[in-house]
Amino acid sequence: MTLLDDLGTAVPLAGPPRRIVSLVPSLTEALAVTVPDRLVGATDWCTHPAGLDVPRVRGTKNPDRAAVAALAPDLVVANREENRRLDVDRLRAAGIPVWVTVIESVDEALASLRRLFGEALRVGELEWLTEAEAAWSEPAPVAELRVAVPIWRDPWMVVGARTFAGDLLTRLGLVNAYGAGDERYPHTTPEAIRAAADAVLLPDEPYRFTADDGPEVFEGLPTALVPGRDLTWYGPSLAGAHARLISAIDSLRGGGPR
């Protein structure tokens, strides 16, 4: 059978894939939770679920394509933002089917996951996906709080426009202080963040902000430390992310660093 991935590219499959290599941490977790017997390889950055024991194929931006091929996958899953087109093209040239996801919003994430697992992998109803859809279908509260979400420091970078995390903020009733520009992850400064935002969310990935590394830069501005997975991962973590992030936002409205 031939199916179309999120880019509209034809992906030839002899049947539901049985040997899958994932180049995307979010999708690795989803595969490991849903079809653990089919996951035969993942990147070094694929940290969930805890204790995942599969061969590693280096990073998302520099996968070891020879190692991928040696695992004899009948499908590799990738993402337009996280993985390089060069690697996707060369894997395909080597005769390995690659399914590329495109996810810039919560709706796209949910639809993409349903297509991958339902159409390509032929898996039945997924409890975690149903729970995630229910959680994120709740009407967003009235937006009152302008927040900035740094993802790196030195140089400082923040979540910007047309991003999954940015859409997630909107659904939580927040205004992304950097959501109206053209850049997806603009560079900025702590001074500019303090001028633009009412509060700051500090995730623990890709930069690992901690109680001792981050909040001190925004003294006087409410800050909250949050799991990076809750802001940027699409997969089983989506089911509980809504409630956890709402709790963090409530702490911001309380007015102080948490």
- What domains appear along the chain, each with residue ranges and CATH number? 2-124 (3.40.50.1980), 145-253 (3.40.50.1980)
Q: CA 213 → CA 153, 217, 218, distances in Å?
A: 10, 8, 11
Give this prediction's pTM: 0.89
Average pLDDT rounded to a whole number, residues 47-52: 93
Distance of alpha carbon 142 from the chain centroid: 25
Q: What gap in Å lies between CA 21 and CA 43, rounded to an integer?
A: 9
CA-based nearest residue to 102, from 89, 116, 120: 116
pLDDT the model gives residue 257: 42
Per-residue tokens: 237: 């973590």
pLDDT the model gives residue 64: 97
Tell me the pLDDT tens digit for each residue of 172-216. 999 999 999 889 999 999 999 999 999 999 999 999 999 999 999
Q: Is 105 a residue whose pLDDT tops 80? A: yes
Contact 97, 13 (CB under 8 A): yes
Backbone angles phi, psi at 65, to 5 degrees: -65, -30
CA contacts within 13 A on the Cβ side of 23: 30
pLDDT the model gives residue 141: 75
Stretch among 20-29, 53-62, 143-152 having the lowest mean pLDDT: 143-152
Q: Is 21 a residue whose pLDDT tops 90? A: yes
CA torsion, ordered 142, 144, 146, 147, to nearest 10 deg: -70
CA torsion, ordered 22, 27, 29, 34, to nearest 10 deg: -100
Tell me the pLDDT tens digit for each residue of 119-173. 999 998 899 999 999 999 988 776 689 999 999 999 999 999 999 999 999 999 9
pLDDT the model gives residue 142: 67
